[in-house]
Chains A and B, each alone.
Chain A
């Protein structure tokens, strides 16, 4: 018998590897070497760029903002004197603290309505819809979220006012003689618009929580004698409470930091706290006081979160997704859910319809079909250049966040402990704070350093906003992978980086692509922050906002229709491709397994 062939490669010749194999192994030195040797994907330097972006781009300016809040402004110039003047001014004038309280009340009302109305719909989708058809419902509910925020506001702009579609329609039918006041421009109109705008977000938050409730638990409650209403109160609500609170908080933060909607829908009386803040940075030039208002805004949100957390308790594991559902028909819930979707789609549908209206007026009646407004869009050089600027910003911001976010996610997915929590926390912060504050912090920071704003400030701002989205999406994907796959690749001869590139990256690619797409969509649509940090650049949302403030022209409806159409098409095609592929795989698998099952039962 021949001697067995030794198939081992010689150990590679790096001095560190030789040291490892040899007898020389000082504990201190090897500990030091271990820090840098073979760390590869666990290298703690990987998340550093992303963390630095957030630290330098957000936390440092935020610190400056806090400093400014203690500095007074005189004649539009900030004085470097420490004083509580700004805070005293806020708390001694009823106009200011009253505005905060009033806004808080209205926004809390709007958030509560949003969550309540979305909860019923989410409950229907999560409990009554069979899992195979659920994705379609979910998609229909959240697609509007990825269409332009401003355009959805514009859609409601058409609805409100004495001459708005609702009042006109009601008079037309003969239900009312005079236009209803609360359907005019004002706070009630703002609340309705807010509720509409944040439906998809609140739906997602509550749906995810309800989906985790095991239907067997509801059956058990029924078995123990609980009627439907009691089951909702004793089982569903307590189990889903973290999702409900999350939906409320997210909606609250988004509404509270939105100064555009009140400005457009609110008419003369409908200003909110966010408008008060931006005014200080606008024509009043009271930067110090504005910083104070912003700090108080953050503190209010912090207080709200702490109080809610205290009341509701921490987040607990709500159980695993089971895919189960109840077959019991629920005609009322079904009708409600349809109405919810109609409500979601009606304003944009009307807007598209009006884009084809051959009338100089933007509202009804529909006098004739035309496509001329669309041609006007393409003949508008200002608009096209704004679109081009938006495109540049979106490409730059989404690519930078994709690279930094993926690098960070790769390392975060592989480590545990404090460093992971710190990195993840740092990168996620922009997700939980209003873009208004980020925008203010950036302009204040730039002002302190005496740096001019420009295209790059917008790109930086958008990068900070989209970085957490990309990082989290990639992270979720990477953590869903079986770690053994990479180990198996190494077992088959692949080095760690190569195992990662050939095994994990291809599987994480959908996450990375989704991250880039969503980042792109966010950037294309961002208004709140962009309006603050822009130099002289005009992005598409800025152009639309500017035009809306002067007069709603029919060609704006045409732009909106185009943008809605584009995002709708992209999302629907993407979703259908995803669903179709899953279905095909599922079907072949089922077909192939069926005879096997029959055999084993025979």
Chain B
């Protein structure tokens, strides 16, 4: 076999074992004694760092941008170590949370700023600025003042200003946080479109799991300065590795109880119900296991008088039924200790009739054993 050696293409971004500890602090802002933050992002990928505020996601982004020097670890962009380089010596550009537009310059002045730093010729500069503005949907707005723009438009200018530099990695620091829902949805679509048309690699920091799932190719869920899980959005929902991830992305109800294991079969015994299913191979058996009952896998039916089979099902009282705009969210109280959440499609509710689902109504919930997800029941990884 005489295969030619594969050309090794370095990933667009590779972070290895990043740790940040500020002097005078005994806890790490990013990383821990045992482990640092490591991940690798492919070319043209939209990679999201997801987590609550203070989880270290923005710090990680600022390390990549060169605004914070990591205490240890390495940042490589396209195979080149840039860890000790200043922001202006890196092929990264950032869209800041506050946009940080220059109010004394007009739109074109803002977008052209980075090109002028490179010494790009005037004519090329004008063309590239025009193209960048076109890309973000602001064609012809060159002469506008920043103060005259709406929040969404300012956001686009910030994006154009970073994109025009053709960065190897584009960093987005919660750029959509200040926008209202409608504009935010629109900008999410645009980000995906821009990613596809330019082939730019994007790192997107957000605390909004819906936004991350909507646009990211892969998501790194962070907690307390550490990455808990890196996966595609579907995989995160399907197989969250632990209770924290499942809780943060709001995948469903986590049920804790005594573990009963028999080969690949697993049972979690809650005093008020039992969940059984198949144990995934990636789970370590030494740690306690909890069961996740995904919201959208639950079948709801109106309770009949005769006590039906309680295997893979449970009976409870409706506490709340809320229409979110696309699905109904239902809270069902099984006992004082246990409340389950289910998501119902609009058609399901109309078949069951809404008046049968009012608070106080008794319903039966059913699921298939293969829909139950077992995960590590640890809130913290720092142990």
Quick one: given A4-B43, A4-B78, A589-B148, are A492 and B85 in contact (CB under 8 Å)?
no
Q: B150 at interface (Cβ–Cβ under 8 A)?
A: yes
Closest to A6 in B: B78
Q: Which of B79, B88, B104, B180 contacts A493 (CB 8 A)?
A: B88
Contact A487–B103 (Cβ < 8 Å) = no
Which B residues are in CB contact (< 8 Å) with A551?
Answer: none
Q: Which of A482, A502, A507, A593 contacts B100 (CB 8 A)?
A: A482
Closest to A17 in B: B84
Which stretch from B26-34, B91-99, B351-359 is at the chain A interface? B91-99
Contact B88–A490 (Cβ < 8 Å) = yes
Which A residues are in CB contact (< 8 Å) with B80?
Answer: 6, 8
Contact B87–A491 (Cβ < 8 Å) = yes
Q: B313 at interface (Cβ–Cβ under 8 A)?
A: no
Which A residues are in CB contact (< 8 Å) with B367?
Answer: none
Closest to A38 in B: B86
Q: A315 at interface (Cβ–Cβ under 8 A)?
A: no
Q: B114 at interface (Cβ–Cβ under 8 A)?
A: yes
Considering the chains assembled together, what is the distance between the CA atoms of A20 and B182 in angstroms? 47
Chain A 474-487, CB within 8 Å of chain B: the 1/0 string? 00000000101101
Which A residues are in CB contact (< 8 Å) with B84?
Answer: 11, 20-21
Which B residues are in CB contact (< 8 Å) with A6?
Answer: 78-80, 91
Considering the chains assembled together, what is the distance between the CA atoms of A21 and B75 in angstroms? 13
- Chain B residues 80 to 124 lying within 8 A of chain A, measured CB to CB, are 80, 82, 84-94, 96, 98, 100-104, 113-114, 117-118
Contact B148–A488 (Cβ < 8 Å) = no
Contact B104–A492 (Cβ < 8 Å) = no
Q: B291 at interface (Cβ–Cβ under 8 A)?
A: no
Contact B118–A493 (Cβ < 8 Å) = yes
The CB with the most chain B CB atoms within 10 A, among A4, A6, A498, A507, is that of: A4
The CB with the most chain B CB atoms within 10 A, among A487, A588, A593, A600, is that of: A487
Which A residues are in CB contact (< 8 Å) with B86?
Answer: 490, 495
Quick one: given A492-B117, A503-B102, are A8 and B150 in contact (CB under 8 Å)?
no
Which A residues are in CB contact (< 8 Å) with B92?
Answer: 491
Q: B179 at interface (Cβ–Cβ under 8 A)?
A: no
Contact A490–B9 (Cβ < 8 Å) = no
Contact B147–A487 (Cβ < 8 Å) = no
Taking the nearest CB of chain B, how far is it from the CB of A597, in angstroms? 10
Contact A4–B89 (Cβ < 8 Å) = no
Contact A3–B9 (Cβ < 8 Å) = yes
Considering the chains assembled together, what is the distance between the CA atoms of A498 and B86 in angstroms? 14
- Chain A residues 554 to 602 lying within 8 A of chain B, measured CB to CB, are 585, 588-589, 592-593, 596, 600
Taking the nearest CB of chain A, how far is it from the CB of B268, in angstroms? 47
Taking the nearest CB of chain B, how far is it from the CB of A89, in angstroms? 56
Which B residues are in CB contact (< 8 Å) with A494?
Answer: 88, 113, 117
Considering the chains assembled together, what is the distance between the CA atoms of A487 and B10 in angstroms? 28
Contact A492–B77 (Cβ < 8 Å) = no
Quick one: given A488-B94, A490-B86, A493-B117, are A585 and B148 in contact (CB under 8 Å)?
yes
Closest to B182 in A: A600
Contact A4–B148 (Cβ < 8 Å) = no
Considering the chains assembled together, what is the distance between the CA atoms of A490 and B67 in angstroms? 9
Which A residues are in CB contact (< 8 Å) with B129?
Answer: none
Contact A489–B98 (Cβ < 8 Å) = no
Q: A418 at interface (Cβ–Cβ under 8 A)?
A: no
Contact A491–B88 (Cβ < 8 Å) = yes
Which A residues are in CB contact (< 8 Å) with B66?
Answer: 491
The CB with the most chain B CB atoms within 10 A, among A12, A488, A596, is that of: A488
- Chain B residues 41 to 93 lying within 8 A of chain A, measured CB to CB, are 43, 65-67, 77-80, 82, 84-93
Contact B78–A9 (Cβ < 8 Å) = no
Q: B15 at interface (Cβ–Cβ under 8 A)?
A: no
Q: A7 at interface (Cβ–Cβ under 8 A)?
A: yes
Contact B100–A506 (Cβ < 8 Å) = no
Contact B9–A4 (Cβ < 8 Å) = yes
Contact A484–B98 (Cβ < 8 Å) = yes
Closest to A490 in B: B87
Taking the nearest CB of chain A, how far is it from the CB of B376, in angstroms? 37
Contact B9–A488 (Cβ < 8 Å) = no
Which B residues are in CB contact (< 8 Å) with A592?
Answer: 148, 150
Contact B100–A585 (Cβ < 8 Å) = no
The CB with the most chain A CB atoms within 10 A, among B80, B82, B102, is that of: B102
Considering the chains assembled together, what is the distance between the CA atoms of A538 and B113 in angstroms? 51
Considering the chains assembled together, what is the distance between the CA atoms of A66 and B117 in angstroms? 56
Q: Which of A3, A7, A492 contacts B114 (CB 8 A)?
A: A492
Contact B147–A585 (Cβ < 8 Å) = yes
Quick one: given A4-B9, A4-B43, A585-B147, are A492 and B102 in contact (CB under 8 Å)?
no
Quick one: given A4-B9, A8-B80, A487-B87, are A492 and B93 in contact (CB under 8 Å)?
yes
Contact A485–B100 (Cβ < 8 Å) = yes
Contact A7–B91 (Cβ < 8 Å) = yes
- Chain A residues 2 to 35 lying within 8 A of chain B, measured CB to CB, are 3-4, 6-9, 11-12, 20-21
Q: B315 at interface (Cβ–Cβ under 8 A)?
A: no
Contact B96–A488 (Cβ < 8 Å) = yes
Considering the chains assembled together, what is the distance between the CA atoms of A589 and B154 in angstroms? 13
Considering the chains assembled together, what is the distance between the CA atoms of A502 and B102 in angstroms? 9
Closest to A9 in B: B89
Which B residues are in CB contact (< 8 Å) with A490?
Answer: 86-88
Interchain residue pairs A-B with the least CB separation, the first 6: A492-B114, A493-B117, A484-B100, A488-B100, A490-B87, A7-B91
A-B contact pairs, 14 of them (CB 8 A): A1-B9, A4-B10, A7-B91, A7-B168, A482-B98, A488-B101, A488-B161, A490-B86, A491-B66, A491-B87, A492-B114, A503-B102, A506-B104, A600-B180
4 extra interface residue pairs, beta carbon distance < 8 Å, beyond A20-B84, A492-B165, A498-B117: A3-B9, A9-B89, A21-B84, A492-B114
